Structure 1
């Protein structure tokens, strides 16, 4: 039976609401897996296009093995899956998230795997994971990285561009105050002081001054997903705006042409700047050495595709109009 997610704000929580700059790579890996196992007629057009492309990539035995392992822990029809699969640190990029996943404590593994077993039968291998088997924990982290690298990375520029457009809409709504921003999220309904949305079960989150981190998701297509453990910082992943345009029909072909023009990694750096980032941000997100990213940025800047500005101790980089044009996307 369908329920409702109810998030209760206090005045102090309004000081600590955070909007993620872009989709989170580890949440997207799990939710992308869910899209693959969802019937196409239940998906929006842009995800049907992605699903069609991605299904051709899952034929490799190593990819299929990663999908099976993650499906055991986080199937698409689950009302709960372990929170350790989506650590908060992944907001700094896939590399940071995978590092924290590999460091998950035995106590947390045991607690969250046991909770998952309350909702559905689990395969025998998860008992070894719950006991803290480091080889299995590494295998889980490798599987997340494999799914992201094999299935999501080829389309990551599209994911980030749609996320950047969503963020721009939220910032426009901010002119009407934070309440107007909260009211702009679909499928949420804002009736102060409660933000609510359809959910698989009835669930109440009382923020109690801790604030809330809201993360857009390209692959979350029906209803939001929240961190389950009330002891963790509150995080809610929400579907990107229903009005987002579908993916360009020749997006994959265009990205391949861009890679041939610039080189694969330089094209990836260009695509990563659909959202303004520092050199470290880009390096972490793409799992590339910072020195290599810095060199690519210099070439892109000299070509007039990227502009860089110092903000305190950091230098931020963003696309120029020429860069947006070459990427084949309108500015968010």
Structure 2
């Protein structure tokens, strides 16, 4: 078991954040890994041929990609904690490109044996950054506005749970192996590693990412955190069935589809891109029709579909859209 020793002050200052760099790392893990979530399959199918061509043209990047991740670990050169002051992907990427060669070789060597090419290469940080930049430009940046909406909605969801139930409830929902233990430490993974003392750290940050796995991010001794898989319910749903759109209208049908899992009005605004008043109006109509219900959770009002709403959505798909 891997534990982080976290004092109450650091835990109180910890936060959720969105990182384009870590979303890009998650994309690389999908492309080079053996498994992914169902909603990630189409994206992987679309971009894997281009990645193969990129790696054929850049053998050092191919060597890096083969050592990007092992069964229980992602190479540290890919999981550098972004500085809080970094604004955007390019600024976050600089902390990767400036990483020393010796450190990168050690980090990749934890996954597998280095090729002679990696042992000889100078400026490996630039190679790692170039690989991530390719993933960003090819597969992430064109879709970033939608991805960012989904990630920010997840942040809102986790923050609401944190406010209502505390860290002991939040952490297992980020990933089953994470937990706040009775002795005041944080179980971060099942890896057999020495305890890591975070009492002098400045930052502890949690990052949602459309990733097939959770992974730690750090820049010891000051910055620590973890990326966790964004909730599957927040992956964009398939387009609403035609009959549902004709019955409710496109936007109202999308709101109903999103509510397969409980969401607040604010989360729906983030996910759909609709205005707060528009979402509120749609919810009022759906609630009046008996398709959604609401309950209060702390300061938030949470909505979800009723059984009738579930049946309506399911029947539209069963009837061939």
Instruction: State the distance in 2 between where 1:197 and 1:82 align.
Output: 15
In structure 2, distance between residues paired with 1:70 and 1:154: 24
Determine which of 22, 27, 31 is the counterpart of 2:22. Answer: 27
Q: Which runs of 5+ in 2 are unaligned?
A: 241-268, 280-302, 304-321
Structure 2 residue corresponding to 1:165, chosen from 153, 163, 171:
153
Whole-angstrom distance in 2 between the partners of 1:140 and 1:227? 16
Cα distance in 2 between the residues matched to 1:58 and 1:237: 23
Cα shift at 1:169: 0.9
Give the TM-score normalised by structure 2: 0.62
Relative to structure 1, the CA distance from residue 186 to residue 99 in structure 2 (aligned partners, 3 Å threshold; closer, same or farther) is: closer
- Following the alignment from structure 1 to structure 2, what is the Cα–Cα distance between the partners of residues 57 and 323? 40
What's the secondary structure of 2:4's corresponding residue?
strand
Number of the residue aligned with 1:44: 37
Q: Partner of 1:311 in structure 2? A: none
CA RMSD of aligned residues (A): 3.8
Counterparts in 2 of 1:147 and 1:322: CA distance versus 1, 3 Å: farther
Counterpart check, 1:138 vs 2:126: yes
SS in 2 for 1:7: strand
The aligned counterpart of 1:244 is 233
2:137 match: 149
- Taking the aligned partners of 1:137 and 1:191, their CA distance within structure 2 comes to 36
Asked whether 1:95 is paired with 2:90, we answer yes
Take 2:15 and 2:23, find their aligned partners in 1: how far apart are those partners? 19
Higher CA-based Rg? 2
Give 1:10's aligned residue: 7
Distance 1:141 1:76 in 2: 20
- In 2, distance between residues paired with 1:124 and 1:80? 21
**Higher normalized contact order (CA 8 Å, seq sep 6+, divided by chain length):** 1
Shift of 1:69: 4.6
In 2, Cα distance between the equivalents of 1:89 and 1:321? 32
- Native 8 Å contact 1:182 1:195 kept in 2: no
Matches within 5 A, 1:154-303: 154-176=142-164, 178-179=166-167, 180-182=169-171, 184-187=173-176, 188-192=178-182, 193-202=184-193, 204-210=195-201, 211-219=203-211, 221-222=212-213, 224-227=214-217, 230-241=220-231, 243-249=232-238
Work out whether residues 154 and 234 of structure 2, in 8 Å CA contact, stay in contact via their aligned partners in 1: no
Between the aligned partners of 1:58 and 1:83, the Cα distance in structure 2 is 19
Question: CA 1:117–1:19 in structure 2 vs 1: closer, same or farther (change >3 Å)?
Answer: same
> Do the aligned partners of 2:4 and 2:185 also contact (CA within 8 Å) in 1?
yes
Secondary structure in 2 matching 1:248: coil
Q: Distance in 1 between matches of 2:87 and 2:224?
A: 17
Name stretches of at least 5 consecutive residues in structure 1 with no aligned partner: 252-273, 276-304, 306-317, 325-331
Tell me by how many angstroms 1:150 deviates: 0.7
